Amino acid sequence: MKRLLTLFLILTIFSCKQKEITKADLSFKLISWGSFYGAEPEQLEKFEKIFDSIIKNPNAKKQDKELADFFVRLNDNGLFTSPYINLRIGNDSTLVVYLSETEYKKVKDFNHNDLLKRNKKVELELDIIKKDIDIYYAERIISVNEVDGQTYWKK
């Protein structure tokens, strides 16, 4: 029930394209592939061709088509090469949020191993807008606070 309530809250917050101020903890995922931030132009071109061929292939696996569709929508929203962070909302929900390079600089130096060793976590307050299905953008990070607590991370 608690999980359903958290999911309902997230869907309600992000159901329209209005900005919402959200409080969440910075979380970490050890293996994450949310965008092509920092990729070389040759790599970008290669992956764009791969995604294009998957979309045009009627025999492509459903999972491959969904992944390609996601990256096409990222590109359509101007976020294909944007940095992103993982947020922990509530006790059992995580959300990938894209941001500008300027906003990313506010959080990029936090290291999950360091935070874990010191028993610290990072609380954020952000202006978030839903750009598309499963695509969220933080227009502004309002506050960044390192506090006592456990940093959430996932393999």
| Under 8 Å between Cβ of 136 and 95 | yes
pLDDT tens digits, 102-143: 999 999 999 999 999 999 999 999 999 999 999 999 999 999
**Statement: residue 14 has pLDDT above 50:** no
pLDDT tens digits, 41-95: 999 899 889 999 999 999 999 999 999 999 999 999 999 999 999 999 888 788 9
**Statement: residue 19 has pLDDT above 80:** no
Which is it for the CA torsion 110, 3, 130, 74, positive or negative? positive
pTM over 0.85: no
**Domain 2-33+81-154 class, CATH top level:** mainly beta
3-state secondary structure of 59: coil
C-alpha dihedral, 1 to 132 to 94 to 39, nearest 10°: 160
- Residue limits of CATH 2.40.50 in the chain: 2-33+81-154
| Under 8 Å between Cβ of 153 and 27 | yes
